[in-house]
């Protein structure tokens, strides 16, 4: 039962993260969740159509500003 609970929590976070990414006028191209020992690695590839988001840092800055609106923290 405990494993199912952890899996559910991770999926909830991914749903919120997906909504935050989509709010940037972007499209999620690919997403991957991998377990490595006691850690999880999330890799999400997006394509953005928003002007001024040419660098990964630009997307990161925009997400940091919007995270709180989706129940996420930096």
Task: Report the pLDDT averaged over residues 53-71.
Answer: 80
What is the helix (H) or strand (E) element at residue 46, kind and residue range? Answer: strand 39-48
Enclosing domain of residue 58: 2-70
- Residue 43's pLDDT is 84
Give the chain's domain count: 1
pLDDT band for position 4 (cuts 50, 70, 90): low
Who contacts 17 (Cβ-Cβ below 8 Å, separation ≥6)?
42, 44, 70, 72
What average pLDDT does this structure show over 11-30? 81
User: Mean pLDDT over all residues of the chain?
Assistant: 77
């Amino acid at each position: 039962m405990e494993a199912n609970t952890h899996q559910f929590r991770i999926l909830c976070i991914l749903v919120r993260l997906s909504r935050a990414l989509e709010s940037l006028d972007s499209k999620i191209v690919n997403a991957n969740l991998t377990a490595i020992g006691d850690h999880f690695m999330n890799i999400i590839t997006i394509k953005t159509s928003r002007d001024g988001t040419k660098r990964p840092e630009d997307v990161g800055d925009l997400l940091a500003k919007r995270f709180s609106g989706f129940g996420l923290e930096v």
